[in-house]
Amino acid sequence: MEKGKETKGPLLMVLAAGMGSRYGGLKQMDPIGGCGESLLDYSVYDALRSGFEKVVFIIRRDIEKDFRDTVLRRLASVPYEIAYQELDSLIPPELYAEAREKGREKPWGTAHALLCGADLIKAPAFAVINADDFYSREAFDVLGSYLLNPTITQGYMVPYPLEKTLSDKGAVTRGICEIRNGALESVDEVAGIAREENGIFAPPAAEGEAKIQFPPDTPVSMNFWGFPRSILPGLRKYFFEFLQDKDNLEKAECYLPKAVDWCIKNGLLTVRSLKADADWFGVTYKEDRDSAAGHIAALSAGGTYPSPLWQP
């Protein structure tokens, strides 16, 4: 497919610039499948099967060679483009200089990553995923069926039950969703969520308060979104408002769920919650890897995926 060409079908935007600090390495390239496939291989495979026309990988330049030598080497038949997320991407020079003075070293989060690839979104609709999460074929089928609408005007998400997205190896951050009558009303990025002996808890919102408990079936966003292209100006506005808060220049990240929440509350977007009989798993910590590999092996043995995934 010609680079930069407008497509009728949706695009898949893969957020693959993460630094993997808790994982101890670049989990977006870690071989999980039986023939060296990473988790993002399976997302790309499922997306193409569900009607997506092209993939945009958003990476850092310092991992480009390894990314090409591992992931992209397997995807020779896949139409894709690459965008780059760097510390200075889309940042006004004076704010970049101030952030560097404060000691900032890493880019600005998932909303920033998506905007770094925005110029390549030449389609009526697109989906956004994390490179290190497995979302399942059923989820791509459901989301893809809505994004194929050429007159799409609203966003979509596939939520997952909180208890199915936890790690036994440590706390996680999840987008806690408030859904009413099938519509996403709010999403709050909550850090430090972990399973304890008597339930699922996050740290107190303020000193002196009790820990926050969540029901196991609380719907959460795992950054599996579908959007019309018309949302991009709203996301840009949110990001540049984020940059105006000087407290954010040192370490804060501009999370995509928070950007979506802002767009909803400012009347720029409605988001429908889609039901899918879908399982999620991922690799937050290095110890999660064996479990993820076991899931993939079982799916391959059951015939859901061929092995190797990409046939020569």
**pLDDT tens-place string over residues 106-137:** 899 999 999 999 999 999 999 999 999 999 99
Q: Is residue 149 part of a domain?
A: yes
Mean pLDDT in residue range 72-79: 91
pLDDT-derived band at 250 (thresholds 50, 70, 90) equals very high
Contact assessment for residue 280 and residue 133, using Cβ atoms and an 8 Å cutoff: yes
Work out the burial of residue 71: count CB atoms within 10 Å of its CB; fewer than 13 is exposed, 13-18 middle, 19 or more buried: buried
Q: How many CB atoms lie within 10 A of CB 213?
A: 12
- Mean residue pLDDT of the chain comes to 92
Q: Is residue 154 part of a domain?
A: yes
- pLDDT in the model for residue 17: 85
Q: Is residue 310 part of a domain?
A: no
Mean pLDDT in residue range 156-181: 94
Work out the burial of residue 19: count CB atoms within 10 Å of its CB; fewer than 13 is exposed, 13-18 middle, 19 or more buried: middle
Q: Is residue 93 part of a domain?
A: yes
Q: Is residue 180 part of a domain?
A: yes
Mean pLDDT in residue range 220-225: 96
pLDDT-derived band at 24 (thresholds 50, 70, 90) equals very low
Q: Is residue 190 part of a domain?
A: yes
pLDDT-derived band at 22 (thresholds 50, 70, 90) equals very low
Q: How far is residue 2's CA from residue 7's CA, in Å, rounded to a whole number?
A: 10
Contact assessment for residue 238 and residue 178, using Cβ atoms and an 8 Å cutoff: no
Q: Is residue 206 part of a domain?
A: yes
Q: Which helix (H) or strand (E) holds 294?
A: helix 289-301
Q: How far is residue 194's CA from residue 206's CA, in Å, rounded to a whole number?
A: 18
Domain of residue 186, residue span: 11-301
**What is the count of structural domains for the chain?**
1
Q: Among positive and negative, which fits the CA dihedral 64, 67, 73, 79?
A: negative
206 has a pLDDT exceeding 90: no
Terminal Cα-to-Cα distance of the chain (whole angstroms): 19
56 has a pLDDT exceeding 70: yes
- pLDDT in the model for residue 21: 46
Q: Check whether the bond before 93 is cis (ω within 30° of 0).
A: no
User: What's the CATH code of the domain at 106?
Assistant: 3.90.550.10
- pLDDT in the model for residue 26: 64
Q: Is residue 294 part of a domain?
A: yes
Kindly report the pTM of this predicted structure.
Answer: 0.93
23 has a pLDDT exceeding 50: no
- pLDDT in the model for residue 3: 59
